[in-house]
Amino acid sequence: MAYEFTIIVPVYNEEDNLLRVEKELLEYSKIASKKTKILFVNDGSKDNSQTIIETIVERQENFSYISFAENRGLSAAIKAGFDYANSELVGYIDSDLQTAPEDFNLLLEYIGEYDLVTGVRANRKDSFVKNMSSTIANGIRRAFTHDGMDDTGCPLKVIKTEYAKRIPMFKGLHRFLPAMILLQQGKIIQIPVQHFPRIAGQAKFGLWNRLIGPLMDCFAYLWMKKKYINYSVAKQSE
């Protein structure tokens, strides 16, 4: 039976989390509502992450990986996952596991009617500064995109792969995935999911990444919206 759902796990210097990722995603795959495979995307980690990933993939048949030659950023890792996915559905989760894999089943309940289903973190367990900067950044983004989403930074999403592969990714665009689905005339929805504090490893985003960077990315999105090519084929020859 072919895999129906690919979970992308971007990894950058997460050696302390990867065995827990293996355990939790293996447990999720046993209760998943779709036949699921896991794809690690190692974004040029400089610690022992790649060795651990290879060990995991050797012993788990539904785990696989790709590894970048150098660090290229979260958006690049997600795009690579989209490019390599061959299942009908694709999703992703951060390797810090601040969201719960079992909540993918909540999102998958809606993916038939919608083309992207994103989590929105309920009762976030982050610092005041992180929460406040995220709230401000999301407000600015909504003003530019009118996507109606409250938490596009939530690292728990499910997307129909045909839509994901048509997203013209650029650095920072992982925050604009719902808006990019709207550009394709797709339907989106947000669903509350669990959130947990980080218990290992280091956060990869600071104030600049969460606030100033996303503001600059909004202007890139406006350019993309103006230039975006979208078409549907009405008829073709046999």
Taking the C-alpha atoms of residue 54 and residue 63, their distance in angstroms, rounded to an integer, is: 10
Q: What does the pLDDT read at residue 210? A: 58
Q: What does the pLDDT read at residue 154? A: 86
Which domains are seen in the chain, by residue range? Answer: 5-227 (3.90.550.10)
For strand 116-121 and strand 156-160, is the pairing parallel, antiparallel, or unpaired?
antiparallel
Q: What does the pLDDT read at residue 131? A: 57
Taking the C-alpha atoms of residue 173 and residue 179, their distance in angstroms, rounded to an integer, is: 10
- Global pTM value: 0.83
Q: What does the pLDDT read at residue 149? A: 79
Joined together, the tokens standing for residue 141 give 């983004």
Q: What does the pLDDT read at residue 110? A: 97
Per-10-residue mean pLDDT, the chain, length 238: 93 95 97 97 96 98 96 93 96 93 97 96 61 62 71 89 90 84 93 79 55 73 80 83
Q: What does the pLDDT read at residue 34? A: 96
Q: What does the pLDDT read at residue 62? A: 96
SS3 assignment for 51-97:
HHHHHHHHHCCCEEEEECCCCCCHHHHHHHHHHHCCCCEEEEECCCC
Q: What does the pLDDT read at residue 17? A: 94
Q: CB of 9 within 8 A of CB of 77?
A: no
